[in-house]
Structure 1
Amino acid sequence: MTVPTENVDFVVNKSNLGKCRFVSSGVTPLGEGEVRFLVEKYAFTANNVTYGVAGDMLKYWQFFPAEGDWGRIPVWAIGSVVESKHEDFGDGDRYYGYFPMSTTLIVKPDRVNSRGFFDGTLHRQESAPTYNQYTRVTPEQGFAPAYENHSMLYRPLFTTSFLIDDWLAENEFFGAKTLVLSSASSKTTFGVAHQVALRGDDGCTIVGLTSPANVEFVESLGCYSKVVTYDDIKSIPNDEPVAYVDMAGSANVNAAVHHHFADQLKLSSLVGLTHWQEGGQNADMPGATPQTFFAPDIIQKRIKELGAQEFQATVGAALAKMYDFADQHIEIVIRSGQDGVESVYQEMLAGKTTPNQGFIVSMNG
Structure 2
Amino acid sequence: MQQILVNQNAITETRAVTTQAEPLAPRQARLAIESFALTSNNVTYAAAGFDIGYWQFFPTSENGWGIVPVWGTARVVESRTDVLSVGTRLYGFYPMASELVITPENGSAGLVDAAAHRAKLPLIYNQYTPVKNGPASEDHLRALLQPLLATSYLIYDWLQDNDCFGADQIIVGSASSKTGLGLCRYLFEPKERAYQIVGLTSAGNRAFVKGLGHCDTVLTYDQIADLDHVPSVYVDMSGNSTVKAELHGTLKHQLKHSSAVGLSHWNQFTPTTPLEGPKPQFFFAPSQVAKRRQEWGPGKIEAQITAAWKRIAASASDWMDVQVHEGVEAAEGVYAALAKGEADPKIGAVIRP
Using the size of structure 1 for normalisation, the TM-score is 0.93
1:73 matched residue in structure 2: 68
Q: In the TM superposition, what is the alpha-carbon distance from 1:147 to its structure 2 partner?
A: 2.1
Distance 1:36 1:203 in 2: 51
Q: In the TM superposition, what is the alpha-carbon distance from 1:258 to its structure 2 partner?
A: 0.6
Q: In the TM superposition, what is the alpha-carbon distance from 1:353 to its structure 2 partner?
A: 1.2
Work out whether residues 59 and 67 of structure 2, in 8 Å CA contact, stay in contact via their aligned partners in 1. yes
Structure 1 counterpart of 2:265, from 275, 278, 293: 275
User: RMSD of aligned C-alpha atoms?
Assistant: 1.7
2:309 matched residue in structure 1: 319
Note if 1:45 corresponds to 2:39.
yes
Q: In the TM superposition, what is the alpha-carbon distance from 1:324 to its structure 2 partner?
A: 2.0
1:217/1:79 CA distance change after superposition, 3 Å: same
Distance 1:234 1:325 in 2: 34
Aligned AA (2:30): R
Long gaps (5+) in structure 2: none
Distance 2:319 2:164 in 1: 27
Distance 2:251 2:157 in 1: 24
Structure 1 counterpart of 2:327, from 314, 337, 340: 337
1:210 matched residue in structure 2: 201
Note if 1:157 corresponds to 2:148.
yes
Work out whether residues 196 and 203 of structure 1, in 8 Å CA contact, stay in contact via their aligned partners in 2. no
Q: Please identify runs of 4+ aligned residues in structure 1 that moved more than 3 A.
A: 143-146
Q: In the TM superposition, what is the alpha-carbon distance from 1:207 to its structure 2 partner?
A: 0.6
1:259 matched residue in structure 2: 249
1:308/1:138 CA distance change after superposition, 3 Å: farther
Distance 2:21 2:176 in 1: 41
Which piece of structure 1 moves more, 46-55 or 275-284?
275-284
1:203/1:119 CA distance change after superposition, 3 Å: farther
Alignment of 1:189-268 (within 5 A): 189-238=180-229, 240-268=230-258
Task: Provide the secondary structure at the position in 2 that maps to 1:33.
Answer: coil
Aligned AA (1:316): T
Aligned AA (2:347): Q
1:86 matched residue in structure 2: 81
Structure 1 counterpart of 2:174, from 183, 193, 196: 183
Long gaps (5+) in structure 1: 1-6
2:296 matched residue in structure 1: 306
Using the size of structure 2 for normalisation, the TM-score is 0.96
Task: Provide the secondary structure at the position in 2 that maps to 1:138.
Answer: coil
Write out per-residue CA displacement over residues 316-361 of structure 1, whole angstroms, 9 at most, x where no aligned residue.
1112211124332111111111442222111111211111111111
Distance 2:180 2:152 in 1: 7
Write out per-residue CA displacement over residues 164-215 of structure 1, whole angstroms, 9 at most, x where no aligned residue.
0111112111000000111010000110000000013225201111111111
Q: Percent identity?
A: 37
Note if 1:166 corresponds to 2:161.
no
1:84/1:53 CA distance change after superposition, 3 Å: same
Number of matched pairs = 352
Q: Which of structures 1 and 2 has the larger relative contact order (alpha carbons within 8 angstroms, sep 6+)?
A: 2
1:102/1:145 CA distance change after superposition, 3 Å: closer
Task: Provide the secondary structure at the position in 1 that maps to 2:75.
Answer: strand
Task: Provide the secondary structure at the position in 1 that maps to 2:19.
Answer: strand
